[in-house]
Amino acid sequence: MLRKTTLMAGLATLFISTPVQADEHEITVLPDAYFRETTYVSAGDTIVFSNENDGALTVTALGQTWVI
């Protein structure tokens, strides 16, 4: 009986998942630079761009996988 209970507890831990928390990354764009220069994001993360220029900007991912 103990073996069966241990097996069931082990299986339960395989199927119980912890919630994944998405991170928010902020990138500030200045007239001649941007900060953070390199940002590593995961699926589900949010990127916030703060434009500190006088005009409009276009932000493009490396390989043009997305454009803002």
Domain count across the chain: 1
Question: Is residue 14 in some structural domain?
Answer: no
Question: Is residue 5 in some structural domain?
Answer: no
Question: Is residue 9 in some structural domain?
Answer: no
The pLDDT score that the predictor gives to residue 36 is: 84
The pLDDT score that the predictor gives to residue 26 is: 92
Question: Is residue 2 in some structural domain?
Answer: no
pTM of the complete model: 0.56
- Domain containing 67: what range? 20-68
Question: Is residue 11 in some structural domain?
Answer: no
Could you list the mean pLDDT of each consecutive 10-residue stretch along the chain, which spans 68 residues?
63 59 88 84 88 84 76
Question: Is residue 61 in some structural domain?
Answer: yes
The pLDDT score that the predictor gives to residue 58 is: 82
Question: Is residue 41 in some structural domain?
Answer: yes
Give Cβ neighbours of residue 45 (< 8 Å, ≥ 6 apart): 22, 23, 24, 25
**Closest-CA residue to 53 (of 28, 35, 16):** 28
Question: Is residue 15 in some structural domain?
Answer: no
